[in-house]
């Protein structure tokens, strides 16, 4: 027997694993870009119907090639209050089903010689690179990314399998798998440990399949390792939930409880089968397709078994992870960096947060006008406090957008992120103008001055139109409606005309000494602030027309 070169084997296997992980990540990225618009709609169909949640979880995981990434995304959604724990249960269950797609992709090589990794890898890589470099249409480039990732995944699998083949001659390696197969706890711990380290059950199953291709893995050790892999994949969500709110921690706990219970149930069943029903099966070598079948059966049956007890899983998680969520003023509600795993969702949630910031600014403008008309000190202070919150939101959103702009986005998503920077700036300026109006109110309170009846009527009229203009622009951006955007721009024109006419009328009142001088200054400054607010609303509407 030739001497084993452990350095060559180790480097080849690690290099193959790196290519496998890179290919899986790259293929998932291409699938995300190709299916981005569809993925944005998946969240909207999530209702209290857990069955829909299972389907969505399976679908998203099949697209991004990682149940860990899907569960991290779920933790992010729960943390951003976009998903309830009951909805999260279904998605987590579905994610476990969706992750089986990678194992089936790896199994293709056993079905026909044309689909073997050594044949398929160079073909996919060559076609993929050609499409990435020379295709003009974005859809074709996305297909190229998918093919390149697919080919690289197969190349890595082939390298791992070739590296492991010399190990078939070593009794120590064979004995290691015999020990893992005869001791369920060791087998489960081995699967959990490897998966926790590389933080991907799909990749961990891929490694197991590469070893199976080399003829190293018996049935019993494969089963226990697969069960352990489903426990180990929970580490990603658990680590992700650190620093998140209580419900997000509970979502990670649900993922662990669900996978742990399934592994315990199937572990007991496997022991019974290998000990009493089919004692000879455990020592037989398992092939790649059989690993895919086992992996799929486990995840599908586990979901069917525990699906009726989803409410109990939520109850158990709530009692294991105790505490209450406490929202702080100016705290981001829809943004979570965990959503970067699926950029299309991250962009849409950034839009939601910016629109929320706009609503806060609009409400603050209304309070500022109330403070001005009512000469109310408490409302003046409320405007000042809210303005600080708006500034905090601006800083938080901008930091998020900077990070979001540095991940892989489609051209349309990149444009949207760039426009969000501008909209955030417009909304912050709207907040500043509301703050200016509150300062005018404070001055009028100090000077004990007041508007004439005619001035109050005019300010009320232009304020209502300014508010309507801002509301319409924000709604237009939220739902991407060009009709509403055009309406907002028409309203802005009306505000401009009103401001000009009212300024002229006010000068006449000052000449006639109908209005107090100090109140007159406040009137003109208020007009100017409302007109500027409508200008910023018009900027938001213009972005809608550019994006359509």
pLDDT in the model for residue 373:
92
> Of 61-65, 458-462, 467-471, which range is least confident?
61-65
Among residues 262, 293, 320, the one where a domain terminates is: 320
The answer to whether residue 301 is domain-embedded is yes
Query: Quick one: pLDDT band at residue 330, thresholds 50, 70, 90?
Result: low
Exposed / middle / buried, residue 349 (Cβ in 10 Å: 0-12, 13-18, 19+): buried
Query: Which residue's entry shows tokens 């480039």?
Result: 141
pLDDT tens string 92-137: 899 889 888 878 877 876 666 566 667 778 888 999 999 999 888 8
| Domain identity same for 355 and 291 | no
Residues 132 and 189 grouped into a single domain: yes
**What backbone torsions phi and psi does residue 327 show, to the nearest 5 degrees?**
-80, 135
Angstrom CA distances, 160 to 15, 156, 317, stand at 8, 6, 39
Indicate if 352 and 234 belong to the same structural domain.
no
C-alpha span between 353 and 13 (Å, rounded): 45
> Could you give the count of Cα atoms lying within 13 Å of 300 in the half-sphere of its Cβ?
8
List the domain range (segments joined by +) for residue 481.
337-547
Rg (CA), the chain: 30
Is 326 inside any structural domain? no
Same domain flag for 347 and 300: no
Kindly state whether residue 367 falls inside one of the protein's structural domains. yes
Shared domain check, 298 and 379: no
pLDDT for position 105: 79
3-state secondary structure 490-544: HHHHHHHHHHHHHHHHHHHHHHCCCCCHHHHHHHHHHHHHHHHHHHHHHHHHHHH
Of the three residues 268, 295, 320, the one that is the final residue of a domain is 320
Helical residues (DSSP H) of 375-452, grouped into ranges: 377-405, 411-447
Pick from 250, 258, 252: nearest CA to 304 = 258
Residue with tokens 């406490």: 326
- Specify if 329 maps to a domain: no
Contacts of 314 (CB under 8 A, 6+ apart): 85, 86, 89, 250, 254
Number of separate domains in the chain: 2
**Residue-by-residue DSSP string for 242-290:** TTS-HHHHHHHHHHHHHHHHHHHHHHHHHHHIIIII-TTTTTSBP-HHH
Mean pLDDT taken over the chain: 86
Give the residue among 204, 154, 160 at the shortest CA–CA distance from 13. 160
CA 345 from centroid of its chain's CA atoms: 5
Task: Please answer whether residues 74 and 251 qualify as being in contact, where contact means their C-beta atoms are separated by less than 8 angstroms.
Answer: yes
The verdict on residue 325 lying in a domain is no
* pLDDT tens sequence across 203-262: 788 888 888 888 889 999 999 999 999 999 888 788 878 777 788 889 999 999 999 999
The per-residue DSSP string of 71-83 comes to HHHHHHHHHTTSS
Statement to judge: residues 438 and 508 lie in one domain: yes
Instruction: Report whether 344 contacts 39 (CB < 8 A).
Output: yes
Query: Does 178 have pLDDT greater than 90?
Result: no
Q: Over the stretch 19-54, which tens digit does the pLDDT of each residue have? A: 888 887 787 777 767 765 555 555 555 545 778 888
pLDDT tens readout for residues 360-393: 999 999 999 999 999 999 999 999 999 999 999 9
According to DSSP, residue 321 is labeled: S
**Could you say which of 256, 290, 320 is where a domain stops?**
320
CATH code, 493: 1.20.58.220
């Amino acid at each position: 027997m030739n001497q084993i070169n452990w350095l060559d084997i180790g480097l080849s296997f690690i290099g193959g694993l790196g290519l496998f992980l890179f290919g899986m990540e790259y293929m998932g990225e291409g699938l995300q870009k190709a299916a981005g618009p569809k993925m944005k709609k998946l969240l909207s169909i999530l209702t209290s119907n857990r069955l829909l949640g299972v389907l969505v979880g399976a679908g998203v995981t099949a697209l991004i090639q990682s149940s860990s990434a899907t569960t991290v995304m779920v933790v992010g959604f729960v943390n951003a209050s976009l998903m309830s724990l009951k909805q999260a249960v279904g998605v987590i269950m579905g994610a476990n089903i969706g992750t089986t797609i990678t194992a089936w992709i790896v199994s293709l090589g056993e079905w026909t010689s044309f689909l073997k990794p050594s044949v398929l890898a160079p073909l996919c890589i060559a076609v993929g690179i050609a499409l990435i470099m020379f295709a003009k249409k974005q859809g074709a480039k996305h297909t190229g990314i998918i093919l390149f990732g697919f080919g690289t995944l197969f190349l890595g699998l082939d390298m791992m399998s070739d590296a492991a083949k010399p190990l078939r001659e070593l009794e120590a390696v064979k004995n290691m798998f015999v020990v893992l197969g005869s001791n369920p706890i060791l087998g489960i711990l081995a699967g959990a440990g490897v998966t926790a380290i590389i933080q991907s059950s799909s990749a961990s199953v891929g490694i197991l399949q590469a070893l199976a291709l080399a003829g190293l893995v018996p049935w019993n050790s494969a089963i226990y390792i697969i069960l352990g892999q489903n426990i180990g994949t929970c580490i990603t969500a658990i680590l992700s939930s650190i620093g998140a709110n209580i419900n997000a921690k509970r979502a990670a706990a649900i993922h662990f409880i669900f996978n742990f219970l399934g592994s315990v149930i199937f572990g007991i069943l496997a022991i019974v089968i290998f000990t009493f029903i089919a004692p000879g099966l455990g020592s037989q070598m398992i092939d790649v397709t059989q690993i895919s079948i086992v992996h799929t059966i486990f995840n599908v049956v586990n979901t069917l078994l525990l699906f009726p007890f989803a409410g109990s899983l939520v109850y158990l998680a709530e009692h294991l992870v105790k505490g209450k969520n406490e929202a702080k003023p100016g705290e981001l509600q829809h943004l979570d960096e965990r959503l970067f795993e699926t950029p299309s969702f991250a962009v849409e949630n950034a839009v939601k947060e910016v629109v929320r910031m706009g609503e806060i600014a609009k409400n603050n403008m209304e309070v500022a006008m109330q403070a001005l008309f009512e000469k109310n000190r408490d409302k003046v202070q409320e405007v000042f406090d809210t303005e600080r919150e708006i500034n905090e939101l601006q800083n938080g959103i901008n930091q998020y957008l900077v990070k979001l702009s540095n991940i892989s986005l489609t051209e349309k998503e990149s444009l949207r992120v760039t426009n969000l920077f501008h909209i955030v700036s417009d909304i912050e300026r709207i907040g500043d103008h509301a703050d200016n109006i509150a300062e005018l109110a404070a001055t009028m309170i100090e000077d004990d001055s007041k508007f004439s009846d005619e001035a109050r009527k005019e300010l009320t009229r232009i304020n209502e139109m300014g508010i309507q203009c801002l509301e319409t622009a924000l709604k237009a951006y939220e739902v991407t409606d060009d009709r509403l955007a055009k309406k907002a721009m028409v309203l802005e024109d009306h505000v401009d005309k009103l401001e000009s006419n009212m300024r002229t009328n006010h000068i006449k009142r000052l000449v006639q000494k109908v209005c107090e001088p100090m109140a007159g200054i406040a009137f003109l400054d208020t007009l100017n602030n409302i007109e500027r607010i409508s200008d910023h609303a018009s900027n938001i509407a213009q972005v809608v027309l550019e994006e359509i």
